[in-house]
Amino acid sequence: MKIFELENISMAAGFLLLMVGIWGIISQRNIIKMIISFSIVDTSIHLLLVSIGYIRNRTAPIIGEGVTKTDAATQITDPVPQALVLTAIVIGVGITALLLTYSLKLYRHNRSLEINHFNSLKW
Amino acid sequence: MVNPIYIIAVLLGTAFLLGLFRKKGFEFGMALGMLAIAFAAVISVHWFIHLYSGTEGGLNIYTAGSKPPFSINLFMGVEESFFMSAINILGLLGFIYLFRAFREQGLKSSVLFLVLIMGMNVLIMSRDIFNLFVFLEIVSIALAGLIYLKRGKESAAAGFKYLIAIGVISAMLLIGISFFYLFAGTLNIDDYLQSNTLPVKGISVAIFLMLIAILLELKPFPANGWALDVYEAAHPGISAMISSGTATASIFLLYKLLPLSSLDWLPYLTVIGAVTFVGSNLLGIVQKNSNRLLGYSSIGQIGLMIAIIGLAPRLGDHFNFIFVSIFISHFLAKAGLFWISGIIMRSNIREWSVLRRNRLSLFMFGLFILMLIGFPPFPSFYGKWQLVMDLAQHKSFVWIAVILAGSFIEGIYLFRWFGYAMKEQDDEEKKIIFQWEKLIPPIVFSVLALGASYYTNNLSLLGPTLNLIPIYFILALFVLDFLPAFVKNSLVIAGMIIYSVLLYPSIADDTLRLIFGGIFMVGGVLTLFAGYSEKGKREGFFPFAVMMYAGLIGLIQAENLFQFFFSWEIMTLGSYILIIRGKKSMKHALNYMLFSLGGAYLIFIGFALSHIGQVTFDLQTLSSTILPGWTYTLIAIGFLTKTAAIGLHIWLPGAHAEAESDVSPMVSGILLKAGVFGLVLLFLLMGAEQAEQKNLLYILGWLGAITALGGNLMAVFQEDAKRLLAYSSVGNLGYILFALAFVTHVGWMTALTYSVNHFLFKTLLFLAIGGVVMRVKTHNMYEMGGLIKQMPLSFIAVLIGIITLAGIPPLAGYGGKWLFYNAVLSKGWYFQGMFIFFAGTIAFLYCFKLIYSVFLGQPKDKFRQVKEAPVWYLIPQIILIIGIMVFSARPDLLLKPVGTMLSQSNYFPTDPLNWENVTASTDLGYWSGYKIMLVIGVMFIILLSWLLLMSRKAQKIKQFNIVYAGERPFKPETTHFSHNMFSHFYKALGFLSIPVVSAFWNGLNSVTHSMAENTRKIYSGNGQTYIVHIMLYIIIIYMLMF
Amino acid sequence: MNIFPRIVFVLLGLFIVLNWGLIMAGIIRKIIARLGMRRGIKVFQPYINLIKNYSIRSQLSHGVMFYLGPVFRLSGGVGIFLFMPLIYGSDYWSNFSFTGDLILITYFMFFGMLGMALGAGEGGHPYSAIGISRGLAQFTAIEVPMTLAILSIAIQYQTLSISEIVAAQQGGIQNWTMVTNPLATIAAMLSFLGAMGHSPFNVVMAPQENPVGPPTEYHGTFLGVLQTNRAILHVIEAVLYMNLFFGGASNWGVLIIKTFLIYFWSVFVGMVFPRFRVDQSIPWFLKIPLVIGIAAIVVFII
């Protein structure tokens, strides 16, 4: 069955995690849990990206051990998504860090990490 | 040309460099940062000038020495350079503005600011989709950091919500991008566009996700709660950057990515934008927090821009002009308003009255508000004009209605806010410092706004034909506002006289324009005379007085629809500000403005309808409109708001009564004639047959009759002298409307005679009563009494005025009544006529009440020492009395030319009035004003001398020496019969004066407000709710599109 | 006709009308008294009153407007006289009617009312002002059926000139407006009741509750002027109705008989009905007389 090939599994897992993550952001009241959910969303997208770039029976797009410059095009997987994943991870880390900083600030202001304790701005 | 890549390099490098600075080097670091942004600004402006004036298409920049898809590719075209220039200039000013905030929070925060600017520059230039994602994230992160520039629980919560929302949105974007890559095999926009990949569903979904994410960045209603919280909580300097900066970048991003999609996104964008524009503005009307209100307005404006992008195919070549003019207005105004908000540090819009302590910031506030709403001469006015005209050409009437409805709703809260700034109580206790570095950015933007207006005028299709001399005069008056009032007054009077003299030859042959031009200009000069009695500088009066008169005279001069509408708006604006200057006029001025705005939009739509299928905007196009019924009705209703026909009159009494003493005659005697002139013009241009067919004239006739009765009836029950006169104006305008609706020769003659008469007597009465009010400091007639001894001249003026008003022979008013009978009989509208005559007799009641309560009866102790009204009020009154006397004795001076003019027009070839010397006659009757005057004059003098002879020994007696049964009165207050004088009349007919119309409008008002109040509850303040909104929004749009 | 002979005839006509007015007032008051089982005044009592008032020596004035009030009032009365053609077919007795038509007369009525109102107003007496406010309020309603009647006959005769209206009614009673246009006549005669100020519409000068209304403060010569005016006005208003509805007059005898009968109509009604308050009289005029007036026009439209 082709469905259970690696890239499909990883893509399915990616979508599943995406749902889990968004569900977590929406349903979890605790800010830390929301941030974790956000990280799950992030990860799920990384999984998706990787699965998109994967080409079966090929190796990582690194020139060296067994992959030479000349035959790289036939030997390696698509390098672009891999590069994208790297960038996305960095950005994800940045945003997560910023979110955590904000959670710290919020806690200092209100001694609470419940998202619905921060409703004073509304309407 | 410097390669734009250096913008990125310099900004990024400086940002890194600033990170190394310690506290000591703050000033130096700031200077460096400023230099870096200035560098970026100069380069982008340079590029813009180069590309805009040249023929070059633009510059492709390839990084890393190779072409896409192996590298990231930037593009600098004319559009890019324009938006980058805007952002960089904004950034430079925003940086200066935040000087103090950066000092408090350390130089590191300014690093974020530089990164933000850099990110936005790249967003505009980059042609690589993933690169766009990266820089979108960089911008978001920088902004998220800057939101916390103002420390506090609110900003922390807003920042967190912002980050979470942006996180979800960018997750969608990234998913979209990755699948886009899967199907397209490239990340470069141009590559994809050239490759012509077959659209499969997969890629459509991917592109959908990308576009919806960008769209969500633009905060569409209602998935925008997170953004509102940010606007409210962030430092206003940052909110300005979000509203004018990132929104600009995002909307350009949307514009850039739109070609990717093979689906037709445009209709959806139109709907999304329109819903946002109307929805967001609707919620704004119940908002009290100024920054949040600006947020609502900002979102609304962006919605409008999205809608315009959606409507692009219908706009054709004009798209750029329309989009840019709307964009630039929003860009300058919104940043300016946020900046002002940061200067005064008042969150409640009612407290914006502190602006009055600094004239400059008040001026700028007004300027930005007007620019947002789209008043001339600002770019958005031209943009909206062109937009509506083009939409009409494509018969997109729904969109016209939606866009103007949104603009109107925006007008509601913006003008209410402006009213607060002008009039609300200012708590002097709370100190405020206007910091210079915070004032610079809004000042620069104001100047840019004026410059942009000038250029828009030149660029627009019709603008260059406008007569800008009055506008320059107004600007000069703003500059000269420091001079004392009498100097400015003389200047204005001289200006108006010179202008009239110059104007005269061009309208000398056109009796109609001559009459109205005469009313406007002569009336203007006369009423301005009264202004000499003002001491001090009278700041902010003269520019707007001139603005009103410039608008009025512009109506006379207008050669095409655009000029007419331009002048109409200018006039509305000037008169609004004049009215709001009154002590208690805040509410009334708002009413006036809203009715005027609504009316103006109806006229606007009418013009647009008449323009369908036409090339020019010539006034004559009205005659060949393909939708005569609609055009007629809409334009007529628009003018009726100005003439205060019943149902649309509720703004008038308050606005006219509460205005300053010399403003009341301006807005009552003179301004109301603008609507009359408009109606006359409408009938002349469109032809009466069209209106006749639709029974419009019949309806207008009844409307006029009911207005006359209603207005006069209401006037009878007033205790406030100026309110009485104001209601009387409603009634009098009803007569005019009624007579106009005849569309017969004698009917129009009546209308024009009545217009001139009303100008003469109402200006006279308002001046006289205004002079009295200045002395006694009250409007309540029952508090006055017996003032004839102190103010004999004012008494005579009022006496002449009411005799003319009531139409008693021998004065000019009788001419109007006589013509009325002839017109009614020849047209056969007897029952409407009955209303009019009934209204005429009712007028006696208030005439008597006015003159008796004020000048006769018992003098009050506290007014025994008051003096005659100021001489500057009396001079114009005397001139007006002379005018009335001349027209009374020689009505032919006016009526003959009017008759000739009407006969020459195509409609009324036969003049039913025959003149034999000074005696006029019709088929029905005859009238000789001169002989009547002579007979009555001689008789009066004979009888007077007879009485003088008989009672030459009459002796004067004291006040309370009257025949009073049983007791001797001693208190004037209890002996002066004035308050509720017509209680018996009220018992009999008061039921007709129940304010059903006000009740209707109040009801509509409260329904709208409660609707907005309930709808905005969706913004619960909970970050998770906002995420749910976003997800639902995506799902719903997806369902609709696929 | 030359202007000087015309002035002579005008003055002569004025003299006749004044005297007839005074005598008529005396006769009417005598009739009223007899109906009330009293002896009543002498028929020439109005003359006596007039002479007495003009010869009273003490003269008190409240101010300029107070002084001018009676002048306005008398100008109003005399003015209407001047603009009214008296005798049909006689150029000598047509006064200055060439300067204006029916509309002029209806509006000139207000001239005197306004002046009087202002003069009385300066007197400072609250009763004056109360009387005026009642009078004005009531007058608005009185005018409604009258205006409808005027419109009706203007449609009927297609003219607003009184002389032409009179001319159109010549040739026997069957040509009178009374016969040819009964509805307009009824509406106008109902309105006439109000205009004459007899009961039930005499709340303006109601002697029992409001001494004499507007003229309260006037005395001596001033009152004399007002009485002169009243005598002229009563006759001339009756002349107006006569001209419009009852065929006009071809000589002074007919004029005297017709005006007496017309005027007596209001007295007759007044003898029978009690007084209305203002808030009762206004709705009264706006009901039946209004409907009749509208009917008078509808008849011509259909």
Tell me: ipTM over 0.85.
yes
- d(Cα B742, Cα B826) in Å, to the nearest integer? 10
Chain B to chain C Cβ contacts (< 8 Å): 238
- To the nearest whole percent, how much of chain C has pLDDT over 70? 97
What's residue C241's pLDDT? 95
For residue range B598-650, what is the model confidence (pLDDT) as tens digits?
999 999 999 999 988 888 888 888 888 888 888 889 999 999 999 999 999 99
Give chains near A: 3+ CB pairs under 8 A.
B
Contacts of B643 (CB under 8 A, 6+ apart): B672, B675, B676, B679, B733, B736, B737
Tell me the H-state helices in B424-541.
436-459, 469-479, 485-507, 511-530
Contacts of B988 (CB under 8 A, 6+ apart): C137, C141, C278, C279, C280, C282, C283
Listed range (B181-195, B215-229, B762-776) with the worst mean pLDDT? B181-195
Q: Which residue of B has its CA nearest to C296?
A: B830
Q: Check whether C210 has a pLDDT greater than 60.
A: no
Task: Please give the average per-residue pLDDT across A80-91, as a whole number.
Answer: 89
Please, is B1041 exposed, middle or buried when counting C-beta atoms within 10 Å of its C-beta (0-12, 13-18, 19+)? middle
- d(Cα C265, Cα C271) in Å, to the nearest integer? 10
- To the nearest whole percent, how much of chain B has pLDDT over 70? 99
Chain B residues within 8 A of A112 when measuring between CB atoms = none
- d(Cα B597, Cα C264) in Å, to the nearest integer? 61
Compute φ and ψ for A58, nearest 5 degrees: -120, 165
- d(Cα B886, Cα B930) in Å, to the nearest integer? 10
Output the average pLDDT for chain B: 91
Chain B residues within 8 A of A54 when measuring between CB atoms = none
Structural domain spans, chain A: 2-62+71-117
Listed range (B308-322, B349-363, B965-979) with the worst mean pLDDT? B965-979
Q: Which residue of C has its CA nearest to B818?
A: C103
Picking from C253, C243, C249, the residue whose alpha carbon sits closest to that of residue C164 is C243
Q: Do chains C and A touch (3 or more CB pairs under 8 A)?
A: no
Compute φ and ψ for B452, nearest 5 degrees: -60, -40
**Strands C60-61, B955-956: pairing kind:** parallel
Picking from B227, B243, B209, B231, the residue whose alpha carbon sits closest to that of residue B1033 is B209
Task: Please give the average per-residue pLDDT across B854-860, as a whole number.
Answer: 91
Using the beta-carbon criterion (under 8 Å), do A26 and B1024 form an inter-chain contact?
yes
For residue range C43-58, what is the model confidence (pLDDT) as tens digits?
999 999 999 999 888 8
Tell me the three state secondary structure of residue B916.
strand
Task: Please give the average per-residue pLDDT across B108-133, as a whole number.
Answer: 93
Q: Check whether C179 has a pLDDT greater than 80.
A: yes
Shortest distance between the Cα of B983 and any Cα of chain C, in A, equals 9
Picking from B87, B93, B33, the residue whose alpha carbon sits closest to that of residue B443 is B93
Listed range (A62-71, B269-278, B560-569, C261-270) with the worst mean pLDDT? A62-71
Which residues 50-79 of A have a C-beta within 8 angstroms of B? 52
CA B727, chain centre distance (Å): 24
Q: Which of B834, B950, B962 sits opposite C125 (nearest CB)?
A: B962
Q: Check whether B463 has a pLDDT greater than 70.
A: no
Residue A117: DSSP 8-state: G
What's residue B1042's pLDDT? 85
Using the beta-carbon criterion (under 8 Å), do C123 and B940 form an inter-chain contact?
no
C200 contacts C281 by C-beta, under 8 angstroms = yes
- d(Cα C242, Cα C146) in Å, to the nearest integer? 14
Output the average pLDDT for chain A: 87
Task: Please give the average per-residue pLDDT across A37-63, as a whole number.
Answer: 86
Greater pLDDT, B602 or C60: B602
Shortest distance between the Cα of B1017 and any Cα of chain A, in A, equals 6
Compute φ and ψ for B61, nearest 5 degrees: -115, 125
For residue range B100-117, what is the model confidence (pLDDT) as tens digits?
999 988 888 899 999 999
Shortest distance between the Cα of A116 and any Cα of chain B, in A, equals 6
Please, which pLDDT band fits residue B426 given cuts at 50, 70 and 90?
confident
Tokens of B773: 């009010």
Q: Do chains B and C touch (3 or more CB pairs under 8 A)?
A: yes
State the Cα angle at C53 between C47 and C59, rounded to 5°: 165
Picking from B755, B753, B745, the residue whose alpha carbon sits closest to that of residue B675 is B755
Please, is C90 exposed, middle or buried when counting C-beta atoms within 10 Å of its C-beta (0-12, 13-18, 19+)? middle
What's residue B614's pLDDT? 85
Length, in residues, of chain B: 1042
The alpha carbon dihedral of B565, B566, B570, B571 has a sign of negative
Amino acid in the structure at residue C25: A
Please, which pLDDT band fits residue B46 given cuts at 50, 70 and 90?
very high
B73 contacts B128 by C-beta, under 8 angstroms = yes
- To the nearest whole percent, how much of chain C has pLDDT over 90? 60
Query: HSE (CB half, 13 Å, CA atoms) of C226?
Result: 24
Task: Please give the average per-residue pLDDT across B830-853, as a whole number.
Answer: 93
Distances (CA, A) of C90 to C9, C103, C161, C163, C250: 11, 22, 15, 10, 8
Tell me the H-state helices in B612-695.
628-643, 652-658, 663-665, 672-686, 688-693
Please, which pLDDT band fits residue B89 given cuts at 50, 70 and 90?
very high
Q: Which of B828, B932, B940 sits opposite C100 (nearest CB)?
A: B932
Q: Check whether A1 has a pLDDT greater than 60.
A: no
Using the beta-carbon criterion (under 8 Å), do A27 and B145 form an inter-chain contact?
no
Chain C residues within 8 A of B988 when measuring between CB atoms = 137, 141, 278-280, 282-283
What's residue C214's pLDDT? 82
| CATH of the domain spanning A2-62+71-117, picked from 3.10.50.40, 1.10.3720.10, 1.10.287.3510, 1.10.275.10 | 1.10.287.3510
Using the beta-carbon criterion (under 8 Å), do C136 and B808 form an inter-chain contact?
no
What's residue B966's pLDDT? 64
Q: Check whether A68 has a pLDDT greater than 80.
A: no
What's residue C207's pLDDT? 62
A89 inside 8 A of chain B by CB: no
Q: Check whether C1 has a pLDDT greater than 70.
A: no
Q: H/E element holding B926?
A: strand B926-928
Using the beta-carbon criterion (under 8 Å), do B168 and A22 form an inter-chain contact?
yes
C10 contacts C82 by C-beta, under 8 angstroms = yes
Place of tokens 């959670």: A103
Mutation for testing the C interface, residue in B835, B854, B962 having most C CBs under 10 Å: B962
- d(Cα B451, Cα B388) in Å, to the nearest integer? 24
B421 contacts B581 by C-beta, under 8 angstroms = no
Picking from B727, B674, B692, B418, the residue whose alpha carbon sits closest to that of residue B548 is B674
B809 contacts C104 by C-beta, under 8 angstroms = yes
